[in-house]
Amino acid sequence: MRRYLAPTLLLPFLLGLGRCGEDPSEVRIIWEDQFDGPAGQLPDSTKWQFDVGTGWGNAQLEYDTDRAVNVSLDGNGNLAIRALEEQYLGSAYTSGRINTAGTFERARGRFEARVKLPVGQGIWPAFWLLGGNFDAVGWPACGEIDILEYRGQEPNIVHGSIHGPGYSGGGAVTGRFDLGAAFDDDFHVFAVDWDSDRITWIVDDTRYQTMTPNDLPPNSRWVFDHPFFIILNVAVGGHFVGPPNDETTFPQTMLVDWVRVYGTEP
């Protein structure tokens, strides 16, 4: 079922835009993907590109491919990113990682996705944003906003974080939200409201944390003032979650019903 954001949930975002000098009456969906299409179809190449490889600086164990078996539409209006246990180019697992670099990059607005998460020790799905100047300045100077980060061995908890110079990796500025039930049981909406001097994280109708420049470590720089692109992925292993164990079953699939960005025209 397609669910559009209720006006009550948009209200804080609209008020924030007004505070920043933008006209709230002009806020609308400026980019989206609803992942409609036949089962096995690759994601829309005019919106998404694949990251192919392994490690990514996090000691991840999977090899991310551009194969439909790892990333494709499921025929029911969802994108499926599947982590498989298989030998592939020297890795014991495969999965997928896609991004909008070069097709859609945006500074500020509401970024949200409706997602059903996988589960299990060593499973690490994420919905996140990376600074579009990554190639020029590198990470973490480009900035990173983790809208949704999840350790499969903690199925009730999701994390929201920012990374930048002086506050990255294990030193990121972060918080967490405990649903009180497992996130793999159903779809949930994960979002951030991002304006010039604050970022607020939301799960469904709960706004669970806000970060501003005042929350950074001393002498650190707020780098969330330029366009970022969207990334969806499911990692296996890595520093944040550790490796799978004997109780981790495969395949593990993250289903994404839709991704949307709200804002005004530049």
Query: What are the tens digits of pLDDT across the range 107-144?
Result: 999 999 999 999 999 999 999 999 999 999 999 999 99
Q: Is 62 a catalytic residue?
A: no
pLDDT one-digit tens code per residue, 58-115: 999 999 999 999 999 999 999 999 999 999 999 999 999 999 999 999 999 999 999 9
CA 21, CA 30: separation in Å to the nearest integer?
A: 18
Predicted structure pTM score: 0.91
Catalytic option among 22, 149, 154, 247: 149
Taking residues 197-209, report their average pLDDT: 97
Q: Is 238 helix (H, G, I), strand (E, B) or coil?
A: coil
Domains of the chain: 29-263 (2.60.120.200)
Catalytic option among 144, 154, 247, 265: 144
Structure-block tokens of residue 228: 């970022």
Taking residues 51-58, report their average pLDDT: 96
Contact 127, 113 (CB under 8 A): yes
CA 127, CA 146: separation in Å to the nearest integer?
A: 7
Whether the per-residue pLDDT at 50 is higher than 60: the answer is: yes
CA 151, CA 157: separation in Å to the nearest integer?
A: 8
Structure-block tokens of residue 70: 């790892």
Residue 4's pLDDT is what?
33
> In the predicted model, what is the mean pLDDT of the chain?
92
Taking residues 5-31, report their average pLDDT: 58
* Residue predicted with more confidence, 26 or 210: 210
Whether the per-residue pLDDT at 13 is higher than 60: the answer is: no
Residue type, 28: R
CA 15, 218, 143: angle at the middle one, nearest 5?
60
25 pLDDT tier (thresholds 50, 70, 90): low
Structure-block tokens of residue 149: 């980060």
Q: Is 154 a catalytic residue?
A: no
Taking residues 249-259, report their average pLDDT: 98
Q: Between the CA of residue 87 and those of 119, 129, 251, what are the distances in Å?
A: 21, 30, 14
